[in-house]
Structure 1
């Protein structure tokens, strides 16, 4: 089973809202939108979290509500936070273009030259044998 997001409790197999923690999560979203950094945002709402933990909370779509989790964050607030995160990432130069998927072409046939040397060291022997492999195009 995965980790239960902050702001929820599991009772009788169902997720219910923990009012105190849910209020902190709502404040976390609101304070982040004022321009505060991730860690200072967490400290200001009374959560002792790392930079990456706050980032994961701000990206967690469970807070919008689904079949299992009740809604804690409004969709417009969630969307505003996602836009702000992208804006900050772009400003800091942290948005990178996607790399092209270059297809890997594996050789289908190869030839092994005759082994003429024998080494006591198995690593040296393996290196020698691999050097004898000739790939056919």
Structure 2
């Protein structure tokens, strides 16, 4: 269900994601308390003692749930989520977390790098649904290597997800190739017209009429009314996505104006036109643009698993498929 994945601090109103002011104050206080020097454990204890509900609607906080708040990139704002935390505050919190992890050796222990990247939050695992994160191998040594792996790759020293690894150069090459594929098919941007809107609009009207009937009958505590109100919000959201599709197609065409061939990675262009890139094990990366247009880039991948889950991948033979 859609609401289940809504980050704390937001709410859905008529299909649009807006800031939940009451929850937003809690999120902001977490960032400020952490920047002022409180530990994750101390913040969690205070929130629990105050009976503050977490994202799961329970007054049970721990250092992990506080940490997830601090690292959630959606608080910086994106296509759907309004900005909740200013850039300076967010960056300060990330820098402090990285410093704490380095101090206690956690960055090497978990092979993780928390510093943000243009790819943060944009790369998703098609096998388990988690996002990708940046890992560092042999941190601080001449042999240091940086790779992007599924967040579920390692948990408690066990390999949980065996999806593909990528260097940043490989991710950049995939984006460049997908964008060039899109440029060659630019006319298709105007042809993406979903068949769902008429049906959805009819269902929305029927749902809205039934809600009005229940309200007129005074059935305000009816379970059906609660379910229908949620359904209406979801339908509003779906309709708004359809309306945004045409605008986003124009945004892409504008961004690609005067670009006949993309010869190298363009960070601003990536941030402007890419919604997400989803990795499917040993087969392809699905590159989804902000208007819903999808291009699949096939990958040739071979993996040799040892105790440390090492891998090899041929990043030079990416081919685009329509």
TM-score, normalization by structure 2: 0.30
Q: Is residue 11–residue 18 contact of structure 2 (8 Å, CA) maintained in 1?
A: yes
Q: State the partner residue of 2:304.
A: 104
How many corresponding residue pairs? 105
2:105 corresponds to which of 67, 84, 93: 93
Q: State the partner residue of 2:72.
A: 60
Structure with bigger strand share is: 2
Instruction: Report matched runs for 1:63-82 at 5 Å.
Output: 63-82=75-94
State yes or no: 1:50 paired with 2:62. yes
Q: Is residue 32–residue 81 contact of structure 1 (8 Å, CA) maintained in 2?
A: yes
Residue 39 of structure 1, CA deviation: 2.8
- Unaligned runs of at least 5 residues, structure 2: 53-59, 109-135, 139-144, 146-164, 166-302, 306-322
Q: Which has the bigger relative contact order, CA under 8 A and spacing at least 6?
A: 1
Instruction: Write out the 4+ residue segments of structure 1 that deviate beyond 6 Å after TM superposition.
Output: none
Q: Is residue 28–residue 42 contact of structure 1 (8 Å, CA) maintained in 2?
A: no
TM-score, normalization by structure 1: 0.67
Larger Rg: 1
Report which stretch shifted further, 73-82 or 43-52.
43-52
Instruction: State how far apart, in whole Å, the 2-side matches of 1:3 and 1:49 are.
Output: 18
- Unaligned runs of at least 5 residues, structure 1: 106-137
Q: State the partner residue of 2:24.
A: 22
Residue 43 of structure 1, CA deviation: 4.0
SS at match of 1:95: helix
Residue 44 of structure 1, CA deviation: 3.6
Q: Is residue 29–residue 78 contact of structure 1 (8 Å, CA) maintained in 2?
A: yes
